[in-house]
Amino acid sequence: MSHEKRIVECSGPHDPHALDGISLLPRTGELDRACPQCFGHGQWNREYDLASQRSKRHLCDKCEGRGWIETGDDLVPSHDVALSPEGYPDWVIRFDPSNDVE
Ligand SMILES: [Zn+2]
């Protein structure tokens, strides 16, 4: 009749099988740390079929799928060029507030 299905429904990334088959994302830019909501995965399974390992996935709304976040309290270091006292351009580290709106 119908082929075997063993679908697990996940209410969130903490549920069993919610992160099955989803790999960790590499850190990008100056983002602070792995997203506490999706644990650095950027998404999780809303439904996961244990038989076929097919899934319906949900994009993390905290990190918008990046897997990494800026905490918002720290200044974000970025490279910039400034004029040195001797009058030539020099590499400096500039610190700006993060753009996180949280
Ligand atoms: Zn996330």
Report CA(96)–ligand 1 centroid distance (Å). Answer: 23
CA quadruple 90, 93, 95, 96: dihedral positive or negative? Answer: positive
Question: How does pLDDT run across 89-100, given as a tens digit for each residue?
Answer: 887 766 666 655
Report CA(95)–ligand 1 centroid distance (Å). Answer: 25
Question: How does pLDDT run across 5-42, given as a tens digit for each residue?
Answer: 899 999 999 999 999 999 999 887 777 889 899 999 99
63-73 as b/e: b if 16+ CB within 10 A: bebbbbbbeee
Residue 46 has pLDDT above 90, yes or no: yes
Report CA(28)–ligand 1 centroid distance (Å). Answer: 13
Q: What pLDDT sits at residue 21?
A: 95
Distance CA 54, CA 45 (A): 9
Q: What pLDDT sits at residue 15?
A: 95
- Taking a C-beta distance cutoff of 8 angstroms, is the pair 46, 9 a contact? yes
CA quadruple 26, 32, 34, 38: dihedral, nearest 10? -110
Distance CA 20, CA 8 (A): 11
Report CA(78)–ligand 1 centroid distance (Å). Answer: 23
